[in-house]
């Protein structure tokens, strides 16, 4: 795993070009000359000369933001054939413009903990691209958050949102605030202080955040309450992921996990296969992981493992979803508690690497760079046929290459996990029309969107001479939609 554990204590383990490796306590402390080296450097795809030049410039101008470099590189590596076929898109520096956020806000968040001590955190909102609609993307509260992470997530979000076909631009935000071990009151006070600055940058037609790691319905409630209080208006469409009683949408909670499974199901259909009888491994045990497990089981799979940053649980009888939800959603405890309560079929492996478990389908659903080249090789050796990225950029570039070379159906995050933001856009539609749809109707809309995204990626990859390469298909299809809108607006 590239990035294990949580917080500043977590070790960032980077494989650099040439096979050498080093460990650093923190991305910010990595030696400057090495910062542009991405995990699995040897396996990076060579880029078209103009794109390489643009990429080198992006590295220079965004020094130290290694996750952002990685996300940009992955997209640019796909775009050579587009620029060859449609040179007009490269004409007015569209690449340079798309890689530069429209606006970046960084702010101080001051709050008092339960002992009365003053705490200072940093808040971020990167409004990356509004060519297709209001800025849209989640908020992440995690101690590892810094500008490079928010920018990588915001950049991914542009293309993901474009793939949904819905009218939403790309953004991301969050804070280095660590909710772990904090009381409900402390988290509420933090949310209120965070919104006291953020509110001025938001609006139903301007910027619409949602949740991400560390931000669920409870936090969205505190954020929405504070926004409502400051602005003195009930603007439901300003945040998504709301509770059902106050403007939320059915299926939003389930949407990212369900959507990822729908996407993998479409990839399996292309192979003449299905989830029925398959063994799955899911990483993480948060929102995305739980509803990935639920839908995979509904489609006939057996999910044998999931994890958190302390380790993984293996349950030979299949994960007991009711118990998992009770522990993670209700009691908010660590995953080890699952094994303690489950009995003899389950064991907890502290610090274990979940990708060592043999499976047919792997669904990384925790965080970025959690599945590296070694893990990918192991999964391939163990017979894995499909990977669906529920998380954002969970597979390192060398891992992606290994999967593609081995013929594994690889559902890249910006396509496979787009169901969450798509359903957020459906929540915005319901808010705008003062309506609420049924579970069945909303789920069918989500399923249709995921089928459409799959078809778009599949057909685009075929059109550009790389059949089955969903990474290329997603990057090209997303890019074209955004680039065409940007061109229409002139030089802004
Ligand atoms: P949650 O906070 O609900 O859950 C995150 C899970 O991942 C937890 O089990 C957590 O374990 C684990 N995790 C987080 N950080 C690390 C880390 N550094 N190392 C190891 N494990 C870690 O978040 P979500 O389920 O909402 O998000 C998971 C992923 O899915 C993220 O990449 C997010 O960006 C992506 N995503 C989420 C969407 C959504 O709708 N929520 C939409 C699209 C993508 P622990 O408790 O130990 O930290």
The average confidence (pLDDT) of the chain is 92
Residue 144 tokens read as: 């590892």
Whether residue 263 sits in one domain with residue 405 = yes
Q: Tell how far the Cα of 488 is from the centroid of ligand 1, in angstroms.
A: 36
What does the pLDDT read at residue 44? 55
Strand pairing class (302-308; 311-315): antiparallel
With the most atoms of ligand 1 within 8 angstroms of its CB, the residue from 137, 150, 309, 427 to mutate is: 309
pLDDT in tens, 69-105: 999 999 999 999 999 998 888 778 999 999 999 999 9
Whether residue 310 sits in one domain with residue 333 = yes
pLDDT in tens, 329-355: 999 999 999 999 999 999 999 999 999
CA distance 281 to 286: 14
Cβ atoms of 371 and 395 closer than 8 Å: yes
Distance of CA 131 to the CA centre of its chain: 21
pLDDT in tens, 297-317: 999 999 999 999 999 999 999
Question: Looking at 172, 253, 278, 414, which residue is catalytic?
Answer: 172
Hey, how many other C-beta atoms are within 10 angstroms of the C-beta on 448? 12
What does the pLDDT read at residue 12? 31
Any atom of ligand 1 within 6 Å of the Cβ of 365: yes
Residue 427 lies in a domain: no
Atom of ligand 1 nearest to the CA of 6: 18
Any atom of ligand 1 within 6 Å of the Cβ of 391: yes
234-to-133, 246, 326, 351, 431 alpha-carbon distances in Å: 21, 10, 32, 45, 11
Confidence band of 40 (pLDDT split at 50, 70, 90): low
Whether residue 265 sits in one domain with residue 195 = no
Per-residue pLDDT, averaged over 27-36, amounts to 36
Whether residue 147 sits in one domain with residue 116 = yes
Instruction: List the Cα angle 459/462/465 in 5-degree steps.
Output: 155
Cβ atoms of 43 and 6 closer than 8 Å: no
Residue 465 lies in a domain: no
Atom of ligand 1 nearest to the CA of 5: 19
Q: Tell how far the Cα of 312 is from the centroid of ligand 1, in angstroms.
A: 14
Asked if residue 357 has pLDDT above 90, the reply is yes
Domain of residue 380, residue span? 255-411
What does the pLDDT read at residue 294? 98
Q: Tell how far the Cα of 87 is from the centroid of ligand 1, in angstroms.
A: 39
Per-residue pLDDT, averaged over 141-148, amounts to 98
Cβ atoms of 39 and 369 closer than 8 Å: yes
Cβ atoms of 431 and 147 closer than 8 Å: no
For the chain, the domain total comes to: 4
Residue 424 lies in a domain: no
Q: What percent of the chain has pLDDT over 90?
A: 88
Asked if residue 387 has pLDDT above 50, the reply is yes
Helices and strands counted in the chain (H then E): 17, 14
Q: Tell how far the Cα of 240 is from the centroid of ligand 1, in angstroms.
A: 17
pLDDT in tens, 62-73: 999 999 999 999
Hey, how many other C-beta atoms are within 10 angstroms of the C-beta on 330? 8
Residue 249 lies in a domain: no
Residue 450 lies in a domain: no
What does the pLDDT read at residue 2? 32
Residue 268 lies in a domain: yes
Whether residue 398 sits in one domain with residue 263 = yes
CA distance 34 to 11: 16
CATH classification at residue 366: 3.40.50.720
Residue 120 tokens read as: 């200072």
Whether residue 119 sits in one domain with residue 65 = no
Per-residue pLDDT, averaged over 381-400, amounts to 98
Asked if residue 25 has pLDDT above 50, the reply is no
CA distance 4 to 45: 26
pLDDT in tens, 411-442: 999 999 999 999 999 999 999 999 999 999 99
């Amino acid at each position: 795993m590239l990035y294990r554990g949580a917080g500043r204590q977590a070790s960032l383990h980077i494989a650099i070009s040439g096979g050498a490796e080093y460990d650093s306590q923190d991305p910010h402390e990595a030696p400057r000359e090495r910062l542009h080296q991405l995990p699995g450097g040897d396996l990076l795809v060579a880029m078209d000369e103009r794109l390489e030049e643009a990429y080198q410039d992006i590295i220079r101008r965004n020094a130290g933001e290694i996750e952002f470099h990685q996300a940009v590189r992955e997209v640019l590596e796909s775009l050579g054939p587009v620029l060859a076929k449609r040179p007009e898109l490269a004409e007015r520096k569209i690449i340079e413009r798309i890689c530069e956020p429209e606006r970046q806000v960084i702010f101080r968040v001051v709050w008092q903990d339960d002992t009365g001590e003053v705490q200072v955190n940093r808040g971020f909102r990167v409004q990356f691209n509004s060519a297709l609609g209001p800025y849209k993307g989640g908020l992440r509260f995690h101690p590892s958050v810094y500008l490079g992470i928010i920018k990588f997530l915001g950049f991914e979000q542009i293309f993901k949102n474009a793939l949904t076909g819905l009218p939403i631009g790309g953004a991301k935000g969050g804070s280095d605030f660590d909710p772990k071990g904090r009381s409900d009151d402390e988290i509420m006070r933090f949310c209120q202080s965070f919104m006291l600055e953020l509110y001025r940058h938001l609006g139903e037609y301007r910027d619409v955040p949602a949740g991400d790691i560390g931000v669920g319905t409870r936090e969205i409630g505190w954020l929405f309450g504070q926004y409502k209080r400051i602005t003195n208006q009930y603007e439901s469409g300003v945040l998504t992921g709301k509770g059902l009683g106050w403007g939320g949408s059915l299926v939003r909670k389930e949407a990212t996990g369900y959507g990822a499974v729908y996407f993998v199901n479409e990839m399996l259909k292309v192979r003449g296969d299905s989830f029925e009888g398959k063994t799955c491994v899911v990483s993480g045990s948060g929102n995305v992981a739980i509803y990935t497990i639920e839908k995979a089981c509904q489609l006939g799979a057996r999910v044998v493992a999931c994890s958190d940053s302390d380790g993984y649980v293996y349950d030979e009888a299949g994960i007991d979803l009711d118990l998992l939800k009770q522990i993670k959603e209700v009691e908010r405890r660590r995953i080890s508690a699952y094994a303690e309560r489950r009995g003899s079929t389950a064991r907890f492996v502290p610090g274990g690497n979940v990708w060592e478990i043999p499976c047919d389908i792997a669904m990384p659903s925790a965080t970025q760079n959690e599945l590296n080249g070694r893990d990918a090789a192991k999964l391939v050796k163990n017979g894995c046929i499909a990977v669906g990225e529920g998380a954002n950029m969970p597979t390192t570039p060398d891992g992606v290459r290994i999967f593609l070379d081995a013929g594994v159906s690889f559902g890249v995050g910006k396509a496979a996990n787009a169901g969450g933001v798509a359903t957020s856009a459906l929540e915005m539609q319901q808010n705008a029309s003062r309506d609420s749809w049924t579970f069945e109707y909303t789920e069918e809309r989500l399923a249709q969107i995921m089928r459409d995204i799959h078809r778009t990626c599949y057909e685009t990859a075929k059109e550009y001479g790389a059949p089955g390469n969903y990474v290329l298909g997603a990057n090209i299809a997303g890019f074209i939609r955004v680039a065409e809108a940007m061109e229409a607006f002139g030089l802004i």
